[in-house]
């Protein structure tokens, strides 16, 4: 059995911004009379400007983490923007690199490149392989590198390594990790292995020709490199890091691309997913506890870890200098400017192997064995036979000293001997508690057996006493039989319940005793209150319960709850009654925006907290605090 352990980087989750770089494609095509040179130009390694379309004499300036001009090579883009985040993969953290921009701006060239000028994807894979080979074998870790490749085409997830597969689902596990069941995962050990699988898969990607791009990508492509390192020695820790390399399809203006039919449908799906991506960034930057629309498209569902998640992310925004791309370039720069405000919180994903406890297995084996040796029909026959013999109903009940209980004790004692010294004290407590429970069960069984024997004895005596008049009636004169003919019916009406109670199982007797005790407790509760509640209203109503508590105790409890709401962490808030993970995050978000709660009633201002829920929340927490 494996237990997932999330180990933060350096003891806590360290927040990092999404790194945004801009790459300007070289000027292409001929300039006619309408063109006046490029509409964008770089100022330095981090700043650029674009002509203001409202006033051609002015320009709009932007500042990014890096700006790559027309003369920047593929290697320079990789070394300055991508290579620094790759070592995190080998330490169990996630990283993400994705190219964004309008169609024809050079995204696929940046990510894939050519045989003479390889792009980000082949360079990043080669660098990861080199980092693994450079690791010293004496460190005590074994490394495994896996490859998966998919595309999102018309909101369908398709496996590029297995072109015959259908639309794949996107799932999320209990640790909030995004996974795709059925996606092909291939282990690679060298760059030639990667090339052998990746090149044919790239040819499976959907592309088509438009007026703006001869080979336009009609889908979003995602390459996943998964690095798993396993510790050779105990406790065999396992750390998993993922690298997402994403080539997004470009946004398109169908009036200029001339898309029709299938191309128009593809363009609609692309623009819709990119619009959802923009909404996700806006939600993350809003600072309020609103829902982030990750699930509104397959693309944002996959990029959930890259934007606002736990990955070291780099966004390469590709733009074109021609005036016909002006509005596409202007929109891309605005999206890039707001994307650099998104904050991620990377951490290490680690799994530790835990020993399997034999107690449950031993108990299950015994139950399976017992169910096979005592069929239900055999039990019913034995019960009928014991009833005919007049034996006690408790004779067929299992005793607390049956082998199932003894097996539990033996398993606990064996586990105690195999544990380390620090665990023996807790095991001894478990053994002592088990023996105490067995002793209590024995005493309860003796008490119930004595009650059952007493009831059966009384039933026998009364039945014999009622049968004597019948014998006398048989010897009486003939003229008196008419007067005594109605007596057997009355005697049966009295004797019949006693005969039934004699045959009752011991469990039913225990239930009757328990019901009587519950009735007595309810009656005592009514007497202590002094006033008997009206019919159907035995419980205290929601508005009356506070009047039954001391005013000072009530006020003190309300102040404690208010203190937790104002100063408590996420874990402290989740410790309150009726507050789950979602509600605790909403409270934290409200507190960061509006400050502390002035009074407890201000909690209704939080989203989803109605007056009725607030009343129930206060009652549950005050009564819980008083019961501790």
Backbone angles phi, psi at 321, to 5 degrees: -85, -15
Cα end-to-end span (Å), the chain: 35
pLDDT at 1: 40
How does strand 171-172 pair with strand 178-179?
A: antiparallel
518: pLDDT confidence band, cut at 50, 70 and 90? very low
pLDDT at 208: 52
More confident residue, 217 or 393: 217
pLDDT at 460: 74
Residue 566's nearest CA partner among 598, 542, 538, 539 is: 598
Average pLDDT rounded to a whole number, residues 146-158: 91
> What is the Cα–Cα distance from 243 to 247, expressed in whole angstroms?
13
pLDDT at 585: 84
More confident residue, 3 or 341: 341
Residue 500's nearest CA partner among 461, 443, 556, 459 is: 459
pLDDT at 506: 43
Joined tokens for residue 241: 């890091």
Share of the chain above pLDDT 90, in %: 28
> What is the Cα–Cα distance from 378 to 341, expressed in whole angstroms?
74
481: pLDDT confidence band, cut at 50, 70 and 90? very low
More confident residue, 253 or 439: 439
pLDDT at 336: 94
With a cut of 60, say whether residue 472 has pLDDT above it: no
Range in 263-272, 366-375, 411-420, 601-610 with the lowest mean pLDDT: 366-375
What is the per-residue DSSP string for 155-176?
A: TEEEESSSTT--PPP-EE-TTS
Q: In whole numbers, what is the pLDDT of the chain averaged over residues?
A: 75
Which range, 70-84, 425-439, 452-466, 607-621, is most confident? 70-84
Average pLDDT rounded to a whole number, residues 258-287: 79
> What is the Cα–Cα distance from 389 to 456, expressed in whole angstroms?
13
pLDDT at 170: 92
More confident residue, 371 or 216: 216
Q: Is the peptide bond before 235 cis (omega within 30 degrees of 0)?
A: yes
Joined tokens for residue 359: 């107690």
With a cut of 90, say whether residue 434 has pLDDT above it: no
* DSSP E strand boundaries for 445-593: none
> What is the Cα–Cα distance from 257 to 332, expressed in whole angstroms?
18
With a cut of 50, say whether residue 333 has pLDDT above it: yes
With a cut of 90, say whether residue 490 has pLDDT above it: no
217: pLDDT confidence band, cut at 50, 70 and 90? low
Which range, 266-275, 293-302, 390-399, is most confident? 293-302
309: pLDDT confidence band, cut at 50, 70 and 90? confident
Q: Which residue has the tokens 């996974």?
A: 179
Q: Which residues contact 140 (CB under 8 A, 6 or more apart)?
A: 231, 232, 233
> What is the Cα–Cα distance from 401 to 436, expressed in whole angstroms?
12
pLDDT at 3: 46
> What is the Cα–Cα distance from 472 to 317, expressed in whole angstroms?
111
> What is the Cα–Cα distance from 289 to 584, expressed in whole angstroms?
11
- Is 317:23 a contact under the CB 8 Å cutoff? yes
> What is the Cα–Cα distance from 64 to 42, expressed in whole angstroms?
11
pLDDT at 493: 39
The per-residue pLDDT for range 27-47, each reduced to its tens digit, is: 886 655 445 678 898 999 999
More confident residue, 371 or 242: 242
Residue 159's nearest CA partner among 194, 193, 195, 183 is: 183
The per-residue pLDDT for range 50-89, each reduced to its tens digit, is: 998 888 788 999 999 999 999 999 999 999 999 999 999 9
Range in 177-181, 221-225, 265-269, 515-519 with the lowest mean pLDDT: 515-519
How does strand 171-172 pair with strand 19-24?
A: unpaired
pLDDT at 339: 93
Average pLDDT rounded to a whole number, residues 178-206: 91
pLDDT at 423: 60
Joined tokens for residue 173: 């596990």
- Is 224:242 a contact under the CB 8 Å cutoff? yes
How far, in Å, are 280, 358, 615 from residue 589 at the CA level? 17, 45, 22
How far, in Å, are 4, 96, 310, 313, 483 from residue 304 at the CA level? 20, 11, 9, 11, 93
Joined tokens for residue 341: 């405000």
pLDDT at 144: 94
256: pLDDT confidence band, cut at 50, 70 and 90? low
pLDDT at 122: 96
Q: Which SS3 state, helix, strand or coil, does residue 461 take?
A: helix
3-state secondary structure 284-346: HHHCCCCCCCHHHCHHHHHCCCCCCCCEEEEEEEEECCCHHHHHHHHHHHHHHHHHCCCEECC
More confident residue, 603 or 528: 603
Torsion of CA 602, 606, 608, 609, to 10 degrees: -20
Q: Which helix (H) or strand (E) holds 68?
A: strand 66-68
> What is the Cα–Cα distance from 203 to 9, expressed in whole angstroms?
39
CB atoms within 10 A of CB 414: 14
With a cut of 90, say whether residue 226 has pLDDT above it: yes
CB atoms within 10 A of CB 349: 21
The per-residue pLDDT for range 529-581, each reduced to its tens digit, is: 444 444 344 444 445 566 667 777 788 888 888 888 888 888 888 888 888 88
How far, in Å, are 194, 557, 565, 607, 612 from residue 600 at the CA level? 60, 11, 9, 15, 14
More confident residue, 250 or 525: 250
pLDDT at 146: 95
3-state secondary structure 399-467: CCCCHHHHHHHHHHHHHHHHCCHHHHHHHHHHHHHHHHHHHHHHHHHHHHHHHHHHHHHHHHHHHHHHH
527: pLDDT confidence band, cut at 50, 70 and 90? very low
pLDDT at 329: 92
């Amino acid at each position: 059995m494996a237990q997932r352990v999330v180990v933060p980087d350096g003891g806590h989750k360290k927040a990092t911004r999404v790194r945004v770089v801009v790459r300007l494609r070289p000027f292409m095509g001929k300039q006619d009379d309408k063109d006046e040179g490029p509409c964008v130009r770089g100022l330095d390694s981090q700043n650029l400007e674009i002509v203001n379309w409202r006033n051609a004499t002015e320009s709009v300036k932007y500042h990014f983490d890096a700006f790559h001009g027309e003369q920047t090579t593929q290697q320079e883009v990789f070394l300055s923007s991508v290579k620094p985040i790759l070592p995190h993969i080998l330490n169990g953290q996630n990283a993400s690199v994705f190219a964004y921009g309008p169609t024809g701006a050079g995204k696929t060239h940046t990510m894939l490149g050519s045989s003479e000028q390889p792009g980000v994807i082949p360079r990043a894979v080669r660098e990861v392989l080199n980092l693994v080979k450079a690791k010293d074998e004496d460190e005590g870790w074994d490394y495994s590198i896996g490859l998966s490749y998919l595309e999102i085409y018309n909101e369908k997830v398709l496996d590029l390594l297995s072109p015959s597969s259908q639309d794949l689902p996107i799932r999320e596990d209990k640790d909030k990790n995004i996974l795709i069941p059925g996606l092909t995962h291939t282990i690679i050990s060298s760059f030639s292995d990667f090339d052998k699988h990746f090149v044919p898969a790239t040819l499976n990607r959907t592309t088509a020709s438009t007026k703006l791009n001869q080979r336009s990508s009609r889908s979003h492509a995602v390459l996943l490199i998964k690095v798993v390192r396993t510790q050779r020695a105990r406790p065999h820790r396992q750390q998993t890091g993922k690298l997402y390399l994403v080539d997004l399809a470009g946004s398109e203006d169908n009036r200029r691309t001339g898309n029709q039919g299938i191309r128009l449908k593809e363009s609609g799906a692309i623009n819709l997913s990119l619009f959802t991506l923009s909404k996700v960034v806006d939600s993350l930057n809003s600072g309020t506890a609103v829902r982030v629309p990750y699930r509104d498209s397959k693309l944002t569902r996959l990029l959930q870890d890259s934007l606002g998640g736990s990955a070291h992310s780099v966004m390469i925004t590709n733009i074109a200098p021609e005036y016909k791309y002006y509005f596409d370039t202007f929109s891309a720069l605005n999206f890039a400017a707001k994307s650099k405000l998104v904050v991620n919180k990377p951490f290490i994903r680690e799994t530790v192997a835990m020993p399997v406890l034999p107690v449950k297995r031993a108990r299950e084996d015994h139950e399976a064995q017992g169910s096979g040796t005592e069929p239900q029909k055999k039990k019913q026959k034995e019960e009928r036979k014991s009833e005919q013999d007049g034996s006690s109903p408790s004779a067929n009940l299992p005793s607390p000293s049956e082998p199932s209980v003894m097996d539990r004790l033996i398993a606990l004692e064996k586990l105690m001997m195999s544990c380390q010294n620090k665990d023996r004290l807790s095991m001894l407590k478990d053994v002592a508690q088990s023996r105490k429970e067995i002793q209590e069960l024995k005493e309860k069984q003796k008490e119930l057996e004595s009650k059952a024997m007493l009831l059966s004895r009384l039933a026998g005596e009364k039945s014999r006493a009622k049968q004597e008049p019948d014998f006398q009636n048989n010897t009486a004169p003939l003229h008196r039989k008419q007067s005594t003919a109605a007596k057997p019916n009355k005697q049966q009406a009295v004797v019949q319940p006693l005969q039934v109670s004699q045959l009752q199982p011991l469990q039913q007797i225990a239930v009757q005793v328990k019901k009587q005790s519950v009735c007595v407790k309810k009656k005592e509760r009514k007497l202590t209150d002094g006033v008997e509640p009206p019919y159907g209203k035995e419980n205290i109503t929601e508005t009356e319960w506070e009047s039954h508590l001391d005013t000072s105790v009530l006020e003190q409890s309300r102040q404690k709850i208010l203190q937790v709401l104002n100063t408590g962490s996420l874990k402290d808030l989740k410790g309150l009654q009726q507050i789950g993970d979602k509600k605790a995050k909403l409270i934290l978000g409200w507190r960061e925006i509006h400050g502390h709660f002035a009074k407890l009633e201000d909690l209704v201002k939080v989203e989803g907290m109605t007056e009725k829920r607030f009343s129930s929340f206060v009652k549950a927490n005050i009564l819980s605090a008083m019961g501790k």
